[in-house]
Amino acid sequence: MEVRVDARGLLCPVPLLRARAALADAGASDVIVVLATDREAPIDLAALAADVGRGVTVTSADGVWRIEIGAGA
């Protein structure tokens, strides 16, 4: 299942905190998709993904980062 976190317009650490909360509620096979405009978000969320043993994919379009935190192992 895909869980979407819309953190556009919010500055870190808010996107990180919302992603962490979504991960706490997510199942092992869920993918967390964070939409963010803060340029620090990809760095912070990649570190979070590594800490919890999940992969991360980062793309950007029109000033919005799309950070996908993949399913857990």
Of 47, 51, 46, the closest CA to residue 66 belongs to 46
Active site residues: 12
* Positive/negative CA dihedral, 15, 21, 24, 26: negative
Between CA 35 and CA 38, with CA 36 as vertex, the angle to 5 degrees is 170
